[in-house]
A = this chain, B = another copy of it.
Amino acid sequence: MKYTIKDIAKMAGVSPSTVSKILNNYHDIGEDTKKAVLEVMEKTGYRPSYSAKALATKKSNIIGVIYAGKINADFNHPFFVDVINAFKKNIGEFGYDLLFFSNEKFASSKGDYLSRCRHYQIDGCIIINGDDIEASIDELDHSEIPCIGVDLPLSGKTSGYVTTDNYQVSAKVVEHFYLLGCREIAYIAGNPKSVVSNLRTEGLERAMQKFGIPFREEWVVHGDYFEESGYEAMKKLLSHGEVPQALFAASDLMALGAIRAIKEEGLRIPEDIAVVGCDDIDAARLVDPPLSTVKQDKEKIGKLAAYMLRDLMDKRTDSCSILVEPELIVRQSCGAKSRDGSNRVPVRQTGP
């Protein structure tokens, strides 16, 4: 049996308006009336209709989740899945549910995000960055609907974004290598069309400059984030005849591919080449040698996104943006730790 606000009103001997006010925590309600109504609600297990409320208030308590642009995989993206997870948890505590747009049905009008948000009367959006962002994201960004970008700089008046400080990602690695005495650093970058990837390359270049390490173009090669491309990239790097002291790969998978190539050449890790990856995937700690890597604070990113979006929706803040510090996870592949886990004193000689 499904009850409406009218039923409850009748059963409690009051008007629907009164019930509505109790539902919405108005304070000018008599104690006795309130108690009586609450009792009826309890007894009947009454639950207000969501769509009726949404229709009347033009508010939905629903947050839209958009995977913008081309993205390798929606849910099973190793980075975003954790971010969304943390986001869901935190925004859930504010009473919002999450609506994932299906792109398939509306393939033609897929881009028309604003219309779709209005259609559902979405209260706010979280937009996950892929490659080749559609133009209509811009439209949404600059609409009246609050949006938070993840790894995607938004500029609308009711928008904000959270990103890992991608400069720091490479800067931390460079610093670490520097302190270990490595000056010849090779780099396997990601897709040169990706904003994130380019920020990291830039960060690497700057950090090396800062430490007075020469940045050599021929030691930068691009992959596609997957293992095979890391293998190929490393083969190419080694084909020059020179062996770099250290390697930074923009993804753990590429780092693992590179390690395979290095081993095939009969070189040792970290003795001949120190390796650091990026992402901290599960496999990183399970392979041999355990892979040092840079980890993004996905929990914090998701949580910040939730809090920022809430503030935006409540009009407590204007557009805002935050950079989150990445963390360097030191395992054995970079040579800073010996197999038994103790710290090792850097013994390398600098320069050729």
Q: Which residues of A contact B (CB under 8 A)?
A: 2, 45, 47-52, 54-55, 60, 62, 73-76, 81-82, 84-85, 88-89, 91-105, 115-116, 118-121, 227, 256, 281-283, 286-288
Copies of this chain, complex-wide, total 2
Contacts of A84 in B (CB 8 A): 75
Cα distance, A119 to B89, chains bound together (Å): 21
Cα distance, A73 to B101, chains bound together (Å): 22
CB distance from A174 to the nearest CB of B (A): 26
Contact between chains at B115 and A88 (CB < 8 Å): no
Known: A97-B100, A105-B95. A45 touches B115 (CB 8 A): yes
Cα distance, A247 to B282, chains bound together (Å): 22
Ordered nearest first, which 9 A-B pairs have the shortest CB separation?
A92-B102, A283-B283, A92-B104, A51-B54, A51-B55, A51-B51, A75-B85, A98-B100, A47-B115
Q: A47-B118, A281-B282, A283-B283 are in contact. List 15 more A-B contacts (CB 8 A).
A: A2-B118, A47-B116, A48-B119, A49-B119, A50-B121, A51-B60, A62-B99, A89-B104, A91-B102, A92-B104, A92-B105, A93-B102, A93-B105, A95-B105, A287-B287
Contact between chains at A73 and B85 (CB < 8 Å): yes
Cα distance, A115 to B89, chains bound together (Å): 21
Contact between chains at B49 and A121 (CB < 8 Å): yes
One of B82, B102, B282, B287 near A96 (C-beta < 8 A): B102
Contact between chains at B102 and A99 (CB < 8 Å): no
Contacts of A282 in B (CB 8 A): 281-283
Contacts of A98 in B (CB 8 A): 99-100, 102
Cα distance, A93 to B45, chains bound together (Å): 35
Contacts of A50 in B (CB 8 A): 51, 119-121
Contacts of A52 in B (CB 8 A): 51, 55
Cα distance, A49 to B76, chains bound together (Å): 31
Contacts of A288 in B (CB 8 A): 287-288
Contacts of A286 in B (CB 8 A): 227, 256, 283, 286-287
One of B55, B74, B103, B256 near A85 (C-beta < 8 A): B74
One of B73, B100, B118, B281 near A100 (C-beta < 8 A): B100
Contacts of A51 in B (CB 8 A): 50-52, 54-55, 60, 120-121
Cα distance, A91 to B60, chains bound together (Å): 22
Contacts of A227 in B (CB 8 A): 286
Contacts of A62 in B (CB 8 A): 99
Cα distance, A121 to B2, chains bound together (Å): 12
- Which residue in chain B gives the minimum CB-CB distance to A87? B75
- Which residue in chain B gives the minimum CB-CB distance to A84? B75
